[in-house]
A = this chain, B = another copy of it.
C-alpha cells in the first residue's frame, strides 16, 4: 500500500471510531470523510461499505476481549460472581458505540456477517468462562455459550437503546446469572 494511502486509511479509521462513538453506527459516512479531510471516493475505496469500516475499527478491539476474559477468570468468589463479572465486561466490550450491542449480537449467528471473525473472538472468550463453570458443575443443564451471548447481548442492547447506566443494568444481569447457575 502506498504511503499516502496508508495515511488516509489510518486517519479514516481513527476519525470513524470517534464519530461512531459520538453519533452511533448510523452516522453519515460523508461526514466521516469530511472530518478525515478526504473525499467520499477515498473513503468508499478503502471501505466498500459501512460494515467494512466497522470491521477495521474493531481490529484493535480484539485484543481487549481476551484481556477482559483473562481478568474475569482470575476473579475470586462464587460461580455467580464470576459470571456476573464476565457479564459486566461483556456489556462494556460490545457497547463500543450506539447501535453496537445490537450489531454485534445479531452477527453472532450470521455466517455471512462482515464482522464474523470479531464475534468469534467474543464467543470463544465466553466459551472459556462457560467451560470453567461447567467443569465446576455450577451451570444448569441446557445453558450454553450462545445462550449466554444472546441474553447478555439482549440486556446490552436494551441498555444501549434506553441509555441505562451501569446501576440499572446490574440487576438485569443478576437475573440472568441467577437463571444460569445451579
Q: Residues on A close to B: CB < 8 A? A: 102, 105-106, 108-110, 140, 142-143, 147, 150-151, 153-155, 157-158, 161-162, 164, 171-172, 174-180
- A150 contacts B155, C-beta separation under 8 Å: yes
A177 — which chain B residues lie within 8 A by C-beta? 179
- For A102, give the chain B residue with the smallest CB separation: B161
- A178 contacts B105, C-beta separation under 8 Å: no
A158 to nearest B CB, angstroms? 4
- For A175, give the chain B residue with the smallest CB separation: B179
- B162 contacts A108, C-beta separation under 8 Å: yes
- Name A176's contact: one of B102, B140, B151 (CB within 8 Å): B151
- Name A158's contact: one of B110, B150, B171 (CB within 8 Å): B150
Oligomer: number of copies: 2
CA distance A102 to B172 in the complex (A): 17
- A106 contacts B172, C-beta separation under 8 Å: no
A143 — which chain B residues lie within 8 A by C-beta? 175
CA distance A180 to B180 in the complex (A): 11
